[in-house]
Structure 1
């Protein structure tokens, strides 16, 4: 009986190529999955950081239906004979209102929330963690990136108690339109002093931090207490100055000059609390796509006194005289008067061209080549 001789197994070249191909394909798929996991992790980390550092609440006037936005733009184009480029400008508009506390900002923001659906824009509240007014440098970068890339929210109106952020410093192409409102420094301090003790008529049942303290502002000044210190007026200057350490150094002369510079170079309109109706009127004729109907709404609704501090008493003349001797009041008042001067000039020029202020005062000619 002859035993069968086992057949030898030989590896074919095509088998080697097949195995190598499978290995390469596996490595490519593994690399792609790793990249996807990295992107997902980065996205989640960015989202978590933004929620932690600068929470953005947009529960009101959230996703406005695209068809309604297109319909409204079509109507505006027919009514006002807007060009496609003008409509694109309106669609990409980003306004940032870095509101100074106790300047009437709640009343103005209330108007924006009431108009956002009718005028087809989004309102988003920048809620800074721990009531801080400044962000770390990485948080500023993430905020700039988020606002710049979030095109689904445009046109957008962002608002929050946040110091000025220079978008150009981070290399973004977006240049948001900044607006703000300032108030007489001592009036703002007195309002804040009583607000911490007695609250306001916006949320009357909320117990404030200094609830139960019945010391008047005059008594506080007489006793040289911390809550009424002139140093507490140092707020409007740093809000316009920005995030540099010197901006928040009380009495810093560079901060004052930087605040003035930023007001001129980065802010479209800076109104004053005492002329809120004029501020809204100037915005309506300057940015009608967002603020159309704002003047009438502000005048006829209850928004003009949406948040009034309770039990606020005007300080005595001797108290005012004492406060006005301080370096901080002198500097803050200088900035306030500077803002008033710029606002009055813009308002006067707008009123000079007609009742609405919206008449175009330029045209093109001598265009070459023909």
Structure 2
């Protein structure tokens, strides 16, 4: 019995020793990693210092972004005014310009000559840089016009039916942003449910066709309601041409990611959205949620199916970006810090 107890104690002692050694090794590896990062930061600082001395100027994160241009080709009734008000509130503090693109009759499609003028303005109007351009304009591919540096596109999408319902009541009752302004359908008391039930034109499935063409752009096929080509082009542009596309239902997360990605424009935006008054100002008046029967009728249309597919595609992409940009802690989302660093920088500093 005695030898077996001694053997058991020896095994336990060996196990404890191995755990201790593993913990020490892990601690050493963490210390080594911290040392490598410190060395890498020092080497990078030395490289930047040499570059600064050779060019005769100080490297400034702000000055490098002073020619940046952001275009927000805002889709109507997606909380675009709420978001744009944040840019107006921040432009003086963060030292950038905000310009509203006001098209005749809010037409989102520009003539070819206006496309050329707009591209020339955005790319050569240095006095307005850094600039935040916003307006109800369809996506425009700047590379078609031979420019070397394209602007950064951002946008926000909304559930297609929710967006249409909001627009329907907005045309009739307006909102609390400019309550005295007379709207185009003012006086029409018909509810959205009654409109769908009677087959009205203002609530027809064709009215759902808006978010896809806004992302598809200035091709004729983009505006053919129900076009799957337009859907695929919109998806392509969303993934390849837009820096970030958020959703109305998660607007605060969209603003938070923008703040850490583009602090030149959006530093302080999250706190302003949470506590400011302007960002929550615009709400459609007299809006009545549609019934399940009304939604079901609209969802039978091919146009809704395609628009909803695009919305769900955008939502999935945004949630993917968010999962790699923020973490939840104590019930609140917090932006992640930098998770990469540079090492093995050659030639070595003397």
Task: Provide TM-score, normalisation by structure 1.
Answer: 0.75
2:289 matched to which residue of 1?
A: 314
Offset from partner CA, 1:292-338 (integer Å, 9 cap, x none): 11111111112342211110000111111111111111111100011
* 1:360 matches 2:338: yes
| 1:146 corresponds to which of 109, 116, 121 | 121
Please say if residues 241 and 247 of structure 1, whose CA atoms lie closer than 8 Å, have aligned partners that are also in contact. yes
The correspondence of residues 206-285 of structure 1 with structure 2, limited to 5 A, is 206-285=181-260
C-alpha RMSD over aligned residues: 1.5
Q: Give the greater-gyration-radius structure (CA).
A: 1
Following superposition, the deviation at residue 367 of structure 1 comes to 3.4
Structure 2 residue 144 is the aligned partner of structure 1 residue 169: yes
In structure 1, C-alpha distance between the alignment counterparts of 2:276 and 2:116, rounded to whole Å: 38
Corresponding residue for residue 188 of structure 1: 163
Structure 2, unpaired ranges of 5+: 1-57
Q: Distance in 2 between matches of 1:192 and 1:119?
A: 32
8 Å CA contact 1:240, 1:259 repeated in 2: yes
1:356 deviates by 4.2
Q: Distance in 2 between matches of 1:357 and 1:177?
A: 21
SS in 2 for 1:118: helix
SS at match of 1:157: strand
Which of 299, 302, 305 lines up with 1:330 in the alignment?
A: 305
Task: Tell me if structure 1 keeps the 8 A contact 2:327–2:334.
Answer: no
| Alignment: residue pair count | 288
Give structure 1 stretches of 5+ with no counterpart.
1-82
Q: d(CA) in 2 for partners of 1:358 and 1:138?
A: 44
Relative contact order higher in (CA < 8 Å, ≥ 6 apart): 2
Provide the secondary structure at the position in 2 that maps to 1:179.
Answer: strand
Further displaced range: 346-355 or 141-150: 346-355
Name the SS for the 2:154 alignment partner.
Answer: strand
How far is 1:143 from its partner?
0.5
TM-score (norm 2): 0.80
Does the aligned pair in 2 maintain the 1:134–1:162 contact within 8 Å?
yes
What does residue 29 of structure 1 align with? Answer: none
Match of 1:342 in 2: 317
Q: Say whether residues 1:118 and 2:93 are aligned partners.
A: yes
Matches within 5 A, 1:91-130: 91-130=66-105
